[in-house]
Structure 1
Amino acid sequence: MSDGDAMGERFREFQRQLAERGDPAGPAAGQPASRTERGVREPGSRDWAPQTQRARPGDRGRRNREAINVPPAEFSSYYGRPILKPPVWKHDIAAYLFTGGLAAGSSLIAAGADLTGRPTLRRAARITSLGAVVASTYFLINDLGKPARFHHMLRVAKPTSPMSIGTWILSAFGPAAGVAAVAELGPLLPERGVLGLARRVSSPAGRIAGLAAAATAPALATYTGVLLADTAVPSWHDAYPDLPFLFAGSALVGASGAALIAAPPTETGPVHRLAVAGAAMELVAERRIEHGMGLSSEPYQQGLGGRLTRLSRALLLGGVAGALVGRRSRLLSMLSGAALVGSSLATRFGVFHAGVDSAKDPKYTVVPQRERLERKGSAPGA
């Protein structure tokens, strides 16, 4: 008897013993165990499959439960680097935001003073507007690196680009503010000859130019807010409904402060009311930004951006209080005006640094995106 026959005989004897004991796993007495009964499945049969690939009832539900129980991934970035590239803008742009608003607000004050017969206030506001717009042009060109780049931006007018439209607004506002300011030199010219003619036309030309500058002033004061909100920087982009109003209020506050410094109290009555209106607009927009954007509001409350925002608020409240109390005091009006100008400056730099800080930390990019996806997935009909 061969070795194979001997092994088969011993296996059948083992099966008969199991049958005599009543074990259901064994075959009927005297019947050899089949390959299926021995746990061997023929390739090609319906139930043949590798043991690790067989599907059992409930496997799908178990896999689903396992997928649900996987902990969410933590927000992180590749080798700790920011997800967004932080803005390459330097403090020239923050200063540009301030001077642009100061120029716009001052042109509005100058137009109102011209129409209501306040020559000293008109002169001070026109000169402030011209000086601020010249400074704005310098800061913008200095950030661009080459003066020719400013000229190249004027070759195209792209309505969907806040930068392109803003360049055209600045180009239209600047000459008008310049003509209005130069017209203030008219009374100093001789009364005869060509210079006398220039003296006679200086007043109407200055009024027309001043009104033209005032017409473009609201766009100049607010387009920078649209420009920042049009970026991917979280704390700027999420504040898109309120940044233009914040910048508009800040422009009125800064221009009112400059007027209180340069003009006598006898002509600054409307300026006090304008300062209160601008402060109210700024405070409402600032509160919405600090408390209405979720996680993206943090940079306006923490770090350098938060400190500058709190400084701006303190100067604003102190400046408005001083302007209301010291309406007839020249010294108190100048101090409150300086506080209002400082508040406007701190507001622009605070917004600038808050955006830069939010771009450097990946959580301000990842967490709001996940929250939006979760809200979208839980919405009815999703």
Structure 2
Amino acid sequence: MSTSDVTREGIRGAHPGREALTGAVSTLDGHRRDHPSRRRVRRGEPEFRSYYDKPVLNQIVWEPRDIAGYLFLGGLAGASSVLAAGADLTDRPDLARPLKYTALGAITGSVAALVNDLGRPARFVNMLRVLKWTSPMSVGSWILAAYGPLAGAAAVSQATGILPGLGRTAAVGAAALGPAVAAYTAPLICDTAVPAWHEGYREMPFVFVGSAAAAAGGMGMATAPVEQAAPARRAAVLGSVLETAALWRMEHRMGMVAKPYREGRSGGLMRAAKILTVAGAAGALLGGRNRAVSAVAGAALLAGSACTRFGVFSAGVASAADPKYTVVPQRQRLEERKTDAAISAAKAAASSPSPGPEEPSDS
């Protein structure tokens, strides 16, 4: 008999060591050994592994310096334009001037970092061939294309004194687009399968806007005279509060997917961001009238905002590399759906009328 067969007396024709094993391989001593793709830790939390130890998700290939810098500089530019326009309208030229220069320099650096990561400028230009409202990248490219010339015109007019009226109009236009420039990068990264980004889609825009406001406020505190820097101090404090509250809410709501924001390199960056942001906000509140304290607090706020963006980027890389951040939430959602379906079925069964007693037959 060339194959084994199951009979009443047992297995006949078995060939030890030649049976096909599913999910396991045999060893020389005949004992079962788990296949690496199915291996589990016997105690404690399961060790989530992908097929042949391959990552579940494609790994992030973006250069951290380019993309995290792009996120930070874009937020700084957008918020700086809002503060600069407000300073213009309230007759604070010594505050408006450095913020206009900051907006132009930051948006230039942001676009340069993005183009450097793309590889060549033509790829950025190609994104402007169409406008797709459902694509954060498409919408963001058009926002940058509209915002950049306005920020540039406002800064050049401020520096040269040419066409001051047109320059002020350009500053107001840049301020109108500033919040979008500061916020659109949040849906840009959340509209991905990266767990630490995607799961934070509700709070991430508030984190980015608050971080941008804190950075712009810090720049105003560091560069403007204290007599004119009151709006910058208020923006710094409000932005710090918004960023800190949104981060706290995001980390608590995300559950175990928020671990990369607390552990490893990304956790260290996020802790540094929180410390620097709180210290900068405290300096704005308590020592804003002192020029040296204002400058140090402003520098702390800028550094804190940069650490936030680099920390968020690093957390995304860490979550994409570990299968558990993809597998566990999927299993939890499946279990929740099964539970909800069972509850709905039980409620439907309880609410349906029960059949009455059968009537006696005439026969």
**Normalised by the size of structure 2, how large is the TM-score?**
0.81
Q: State the partner residue of 2:171.
A: 210
Assess, with a 3 A threshold, how the Cα gap between structure 1 residues 262 and 73 changes in structure 2: closer, same or farther: closer
1-side partners of 2:250 and 2:46: how far apart? 29
Q: Which residue of 2 aligns with 1:167?
A: 141
Structure 2: distance between partners of 1:309 and 1:327:
25
CA-CA distance at 1:206 after TM superposition: 1.1
Aligned residues: 304
Q: CA deviation at 1:79?
A: 2.2
Deviation at 1:272, TM superposition (A): 1.0
Point out the structure with the larger helix share: 1
| Structure 1 counterpart of 2:337 | 376
1:282 partnered with 2:256: no
Cα distance change, pair 329–226 in 1 and its aligned pair in 2 (3 A)? same
Distance between the aligned counterparts of 2:102 and 2:267, measured in 1?
29
CA distance in 1 between counterparts of 2:278 and 2:110 reads 27
Q: Distance in 2 between matches of 1:121 and 1:270?
A: 9
AA of the residue aligned to 2:55 = P
Q: Output the aligned Cα RMSD.
A: 1.8
What secondary structure, in the 3-state scheme, does the structure 2 residue paired with 1:292 have?
Answer: helix
Letter in 1 for 2:173: A
What is the CA–CA distance in structure 1 between the aligned matches of 2:227 and 2:188, rounded to whole Å?
38
Q: Equivalent residues in 2 for 1:1-382 (5 A)?
A: 75-91=48-64, 92-187=66-161, 199=162, 202-379=163-340, 380-381=343-344
Question: How much does 1:87 deviate?
Answer: 1.3
**Deviations along 1:43-67, whole A, 9 cap, x unmatched?**
xxxxxxx859xxxxxxxxxxxxxxx
In structure 1, what residue type is equivalent to 2:56?
I
Contact 2:151-2:174 at 8 Å conserved across structures: yes
CA spacing shift, 1:369–1:130, aligned 2, 3 Å = same
Which of 324-333 and 355-364 deviates more?
Answer: 324-333
8 Å CA contact 2:195–2:319 kept in 1: the answer is: yes
- 1:74, distance to aligned residue in structure 2 (A): 5.9
Asked if structure 1 preserves the Cα contact closer than 8 Å seen for 2:95 and 2:220, the reply is yes
1:302-353 per-residue CA deviation (whole Å, 9 max, x = no partner) reads 0111110000000011111111222221111110000000000000000000
For the pair shown, which has the larger CA radius of gyration, 1 or 2? 1
Residue 381 of structure 1: how far off its partner (Å): 2.6
Runs (5+) with no aligned partner, structure 1: 1-49, 53-70, 188-198
2:359 is matched with none
Give unmatched runs, 5+ long, in structure 2.
Answer: 1-6, 10-41, 346-363
Aligned-pair identity (%): 52
